[in-house]
Amino acid sequence: MKLLSSAVLLFLVLGSALAYKSYSGYQVLKTAPLTAAAMPYVSRMSQRFDFWGTPGVGRPATVMVSPEEAPVVVAAFNRMRVSHEVLVADLGPQVETQRAEREALKVSSPRKPRTASYDRFMEFVEIDAHIHETADGNPAIASVLDLGFSYGGLEFHGLKLSNGQPGQKAVWFDCAIHAREWLSTPVCLRIIDEVVANPALRDLADWYILPVANPDGYDYSFTDDRFWRKTRRPTADANCPGTDPNRNFDFLWDAGNPTDYCSEVYPGTGAFSEPEVAAMGNFILDIADNLVLYVAVHSYGEMILYPYGHTVEPVPNVDQLIAAGTGTASADAIAAVAGTAYTVENSASGLYFTYGASDDFAYGRGAVEFAYTFELSAGGSGGFDPPASQIQPVVDEVWPGMLALVEYVLAN
């Protein structure tokens, strides 16, 4: 790979510096593994502060704090007697370094037509072009899903891959519903690559793949704010735009959710208030008669979560959900590649209580028998910002797990 000169790199960085949030002085704090007694307090804190990863009993919590928030969060941890450390003392330099690397890679390693890039993170416009190129180049098996427009006017698309057999069962994968979780999108792109190349996979099922479920937020995370999570639709608080799209689905919407507009998990003004979420949810309902597997790909946590997020009470087919996720199926297939151990857990007990989430909607409203959220590996300064060098290892180890899951579900 040809290296850019320092002068060119400096020009690229300065060209977008004015718009890009610096995160200068922001810290990333990491707690010791949490106790059951601490979890209720941490769950309440997570409604106000930006917790990363998957805090849970026996696992540490990671939280990003501004210079103003740091003493408040530290004092709260001290009151709870939760020991913690400063994982990143100043996030600003790391954000700048990663942005400079990304700009350099975009110039030195441009995407080739009809080819997904796995040596760098692709921007929304590149991903959308790749979807159309794949459909244009494979008209007998690929068709573009016209899902509609985002609040910001971006037309967003998924892809259907099928051999055209009538009455075929269907499987669904979506990625990047949380904007900053860039590592999820290459997983969806890898699924597209594999299914296009292998007719036997299309004989198994019709495949629906949505690489970017939150186009406005994803685009904004590249242009303005690396750690942006939500949509970009304004709220009643002009200083706090955006809704958490994974709390906006029409299933137990707002049950116990916060009404703080600035919260990272603000659920919106009503179920399906976000046009992107409504488009996605309604499409899932349209294909629900044939849909047997729903998978939302997130990062991070190395977990395979199954419904429900609002209760730890087991769902009727819990044994099948666990068997498909673990045993000889998905988690074992992932571990066989490089030894990464994914755990398989109920969403409420493994993550935290959630309402209006996409997998619960697919399971509870769409009657999709197998519904999961995959939390990928962590990376970078605190988990959400893995380097580009991590893309290929993650997609290489996760794809066998996805395939094993599909094969198990269709066989059972």
Q: What is the DSSP string of 215-283?
A: HHHHHHHHHT-TT--S-----SSTTS----GGG-SSSSTTSS----TTSTT---SSTT-SHHHHHHHHH
Question: What is d(CA 27, CA 92) in angstroms, rounded to the nearest whole number?
Answer: 9
Q: Is 103 a catalytic residue?
A: no
CATH fold, domain 27-90, is Alpha-Beta Plaits (3.30.70)
In the chain, CATH 3.40.630.10 covers 113-411
Q: Which amino acid is at 193?
A: D
Neighbouring CB atoms inside 10 A of 378's CB total 20
How much is the pLDDT for 111? 86
How much is the pLDDT for 158? 98
Distances (CA, A) of 317 to 155, 287, 314, 363: 37, 21, 8, 11
How much is the pLDDT for 256? 66
Q: What is the pLDDT along the chain (412 residues), one digit of tens a residue?
A: 444 444 444 444 444 455 799 999 999 999 999 888 888 888 888 888 998 876 778 888 899 999 999 999 999 999 999 999 999 999 999 999 999 999 999 898 888 888 899 999 999 999 999 999 999 999 999 999 999 999 999 999 999 999 999 989 999 999 999 999 999 999 999 999 999 999 999 999 999 999 999 999 999 999 999 999 999 999 999 999 999 999 999 999 987 666 789 999 899 999 999 999 999 999 999 999 999 999 999 998 898 999 988 888 889 999 999 988 765 579 999 999 999 999 898 887 755 678 899 999 999 999 999 999 999 998 877 788 899 999 999 999 999 999 999 999 999 8
Q: Which residues contact 4 (CB under 8 A, 6 or more apart)?
A: 12, 104, 107, 108
CB 52, CB 64: distance < 8 Å: yes
Q: Residue 326 is encoded by which pair of tokens?
A: 């673990």
In the chain, CATH 3.30.70.340 covers 27-90
Distances (CA, A) of 245 to 49, 266, 272: 17, 9, 9
CB 4, CB 109: distance < 8 Å: no
Q: Residue 201 is encoded by which pair of tokens?
A: 């996979």
- The residue annotated as part of the active site, out of 276, 302, 375, 397, is 375
Q: How many CA atoms lie within 13 A of 236 on its CB side?
A: 7
How much is the pLDDT for 412? 87
How much is the pLDDT for 346? 86
Region 113-411: CATH code: 3.40.630.10
